[in-house]
Amino acid sequence: MTEVFSEENRLIVLRTGLNQPDGMLLRSVLEAQDIYAFLANENVAGMNEGLYANLMVYAHDLERANAALQKVATMPRCAIPVRRDEDGEEIACRHCGSERVHPFEGVVPTIIPGVKITTRKGEAWYHCLQCDSYFKNSLSRLASIPVALMWGGALAGLTLFVIWVIEFLRWL
């Protein structure tokens, strides 16, 4: 029982206010140096916006952890502006889910050799800083076709039902 509360088993907060990817990055750097690190609130920070994780290490590993993370810097949350779409939702990468995206203008590389897409300022093209992918944040022109077909079918069914009721009442 005394081993649990000893001074060397005490956890000390090394970095605070980390989002989940930054916390995992710093934890992997420490674990590569054989320093056990604990990320408090890791899962809660990944699920909820505005909640952040704390990186903790044992008290006896504090000097080694500070030395290992001396050259590692994470981008402050205020350095990357939060970009929101028309609905007020944060724009996130479609490949990795990162919110570290910025508007892109220029030539977008494609998987087809020789085919390039040129974008201009004001178009909804974004570049992800996390996975280095390009994506367009807009619905395709045909995105509303299933809804239109559903409404068309519902109105056609309603029309046929009204015609059937009129014919039935005429038959009586």
Cβ atoms of residues 22 and 74 within 8 Å: yes
- The overall average pLDDT reported for the chain is 80
Question: Smallest Cα–Cα separation from 42: which of 29, 30, 32, 56?
Answer: 56
pTM as predicted: 0.45
Q: Put residue 76 in one of left, alpha, beta given phi > 0 → left and psi -120 to 50 → alpha.
A: beta
pLDDT digits (tens, 9 = 90+) for 37-57: 888 887 766 666 666 778 889
Indicate if the pLDDT at residue 126 is higher than 50.
yes
Read off the tokens for 107. Answer: 């030539």
* Amino acid, res. 71: K
- DSSP per residue, the chain: -TTTTSGGG-EEEEEEEE-HHHHHHHHHHHHHTT--EEEETHHHHHHSTT--EEEEEEGGGHHHHHHHTTT--PPPGGGSPPPB-TTSPBP--TTT--S-EEE--EEEE-SSTT-EEEE-TTS-EEEETTT--EEE-S--TTTTHHHHHHHHHHHHHHHHHHHHHHHHHHH-
How confident is the model at residue 11, as a pLDDT? 85
- pLDDT tens digits, one per residue of 76-89: 655 566 667 766 67
Among 53-62, 72-81, 108-117, name the most confident range: 53-62
| Bridge partners, 136 (sequence order) | 125
The amino acid at residue 11 is L
Total Cβ atoms within 10 A of residue 170: 7
